[in-house]
A and B are shown apart, each in its own frame.
Chain A
Amino acid sequence: MNADLDALYQEIILDHYKNPHHKGLRDPYEAEVHHVNPSCGDEVTLRVHLADGVVSDVSYDSVGCSISQASASVLTDLVIGKSVEEAMAIHAEFQELMQGRGTVTPDEEVLEDGIAFAGVAKFPARVKCALLSWMAWKDATAQAMEEKSK
């Protein structure tokens, strides 16, 4: 069983958990969302700042388990500086990995540290932990785009 456990808690995940990247709420931003995992109480407040079609900042404040915290950290590494279109494609790929029940082989070129979450897909109860901040980011980005188009 330790093999599965070690697959879940990759060193990369524990590193991001202990030293999260881009954490803290920052200005400026066009949209702020608050997402919760109602079954367990994990929470994230996340802000998105877009400039010229590029995700120029993602900042967040969150409480939760190692998986949800590390996932938020990896998210910000992956999407900040990318065009909204590219970032959405990364989002889709991460979501596919998470919902693949362990059958999807991740592409390191696209997901970088995100490939460490492949083991999470085998723990159905933990998939929503990994997706919490990603869903918040998608929601906030959609709202920010709407704000821009007004």
Chain B
Amino acid sequence: MTRPVVGGLLPELEVIRKDFPILQRTLAGGQPLVYLDSANTSQKPQVVIDSMVDHLERHNANIARAMHQLGAESTEAFESARDKVAAFIGAPSRDEVIFTKNASEALNLVANTMAWKGRFRVGEGDEIVITEMEHHSNIVPWQLLTERTGATLRWFGLTDDGHLDLSAIDSLITEKTKVVALTWVSNMLGTVNPIAAITRRAHEVGALVVIDASQAAPVLPIDLAAMPVEERPDFLAFTGHKVVGPTGIGVLWGSRAALEELPPFLGGGEMIEVVTMQGSTYADIPHKFEAGTPPIVEAVGLGAAVDYLSHVGMTAIHEHEQAITSYALEALATVTGLTILGPLTAAERGGAISFELDGVHPHDIATVVDTRGVAIRAGHHCARPAHARFGVQSSSRMSSYLYTTPSEIDALIEALEYTRSYFKLG
């Protein structure tokens, strides 16, 4: 089974694969690993692993508060990771980059502090707009915000081909709207959303815009500073472990104006200026939002990760992703009884492709292909409303990344054909 490979694959794909030690391992029964679950979490290159080991072996100390050489080295490593992340997303200022635990915490930071005080405080009569294709982590924090404040949650519905239904945008985003929160790239449908147009509309009515970039940051070149200010979101969140970095660290970028207006999220060490028993004043951003000892070695790993991606080149990674996605869409279409959810052309998509296979439940598919070494995800991918919209209880999802090869897609197809024969489907 050979299919023509469209152009755009990374020219040094074999070299890149060697950077990821886990890709060399075999699974039970000597099966080579075919890892197609990168939208869930990406694998880590040696340079990320080494940078973390090196930090723990040679530079470990708490940051900002240790008055010794190791403390200075550790602080330098942590803050230089912030510089690297800022460069990776083209942040107008490095102080606008807040380290969090993950993307969920980043989104919760915004949703929580908006309930408290300040110019952006959400109250009764206000509206929050999200979309039906959000990951649960960009739904539930906003539901909690409405429960705490009496505000109303509204959302963009989806078209049958898996895009946001923008036909009612002007009646959905109105003077009542305080915040519009949406994903840049859907983790289930793969859809790339027109965030510039939506941000422009939201800014016309004075609403803040929060972008969940968890699936976008791994594959799209992001240059916040280059965006026209009226199209630049106010917040952008992503997680380290999907951009070849470690777990335990996420990023919230926010415009200085918005971050300065929001009250602190967590109270504690390092986020303060002066503490008295009567009250406290707070540090400037970014430290205002980083209470307590942060995930230091994880930040170092994330810095190495985004440097690695930048070195390969985000434009080249995006082209690779498009080539693999396009190849996968064509290949999946050859499997009898297989239905792809979401847009059918690579140009409208990120690297995640969810599908159904007539007559076999996604769990059973995942288990059978796993015995062939192929790792995919099955379930509702933390996007139950999006599944409900398409009348699907759960789906299977393959997701690729910069180390994915066309032959791995062939292995998936072969495993799916095997699944069909195993369950005796004609």
Contacts and interface: CB of A to CB of B under 8 A. Distances in A.
Range class of the B interface residue count: 20 to 34
B378 interface: yes
Contacts of B394: 40-42
Contact of A40 (B28, B372, B380): B380
B364 A66 contact: yes
A41 B379 contact: yes
Nearest to B371: A1
18 contacts: A1-B29, A1-B31, A1-B372, A2-B371, A5-B368, A9-B364, A40-B363, A40-B378, A40-B379, A40-B380, A41-B379, A41-B393, A42-B393, A64-B393, A65-B362, A66-B361, A67-B363, A126-B363
Interface centre among A41, A42, A66, A68 (most CB of B within 10 A): A41
Contacts of B379: 39-41
Interface residues of A, number: 22
Nearest to B363: A65
A29 interface: no
A64 to B, nearest CB: 7
Contacts of A123: 367
Contact of B387 (A41, A43, A64): A41
Given A40-B379, A42-B363, A42-B394, 19 more contacts: A1-B28, A1-B371, A5-B367, A5-B371, A8-B367, A9-B364, A14-B423, A40-B378, A40-B380, A41-B379, A41-B384, A41-B387, A41-B393, A41-B394, A64-B363, A64-B393, A65-B363, A65-B364, A68-B363
A5 B422 CA distance: 10
Interface string B373-395: 00000111000100100000110
A7 B51 CA distance: 43
A129 B394 CA distance: 14
A128 B70 CA distance: 47
A68 B379 CA distance: 13
A63 interface: yes
Contacts of A68: 363
A4 interface: yes
A65 B394 CA distance: 10
Interface string B320-346: 000000000000000000000000000
A38 to B, nearest CB: 9
A42 B364 CA distance: 12
Contact of B361 (A39, A43, A65): A65
A66 B368 CA distance: 12
Interface centre among A8, A65, A123 (most CB of B within 10 A): A65
Nearest to A68: B363
B238 to A, nearest CB: 22
Contacts of A14: 423
A12 B394 CA distance: 24
Given A41-B394, A63-B393, A126 B378 contact: no
Contacts of B423: 14
A68 B367 CA distance: 14
B188 to A, nearest CB: 12
A42 to B, nearest CB: 8
A147 B379 CA distance: 35
B174 to A, nearest CB: 34
A103 B87 CA distance: 53
A41 B393 CA distance: 7
Question: Which 8 residue pairs of A and B lie closest in terms of their CB atoms, listed nearest first?
Answer: A65-B363, A40-B379, A65-B361, A41-B380, A1-B371, A41-B394, A1-B29, A63-B393
Contacts of A126: 363, 367
A42 B363 CA distance: 10
Contacts of B31: 1
Contacts of B28: 1
A143 to B, nearest CB: 26
Interface in A5-19: 5, 8-9, 14
A39 B423 CA distance: 24
Contacts of B361: 64-66
Contacts of B364: 9, 65-67
A4 B28 CA distance: 11
A69 B156 CA distance: 34
A126 B371 CA distance: 14
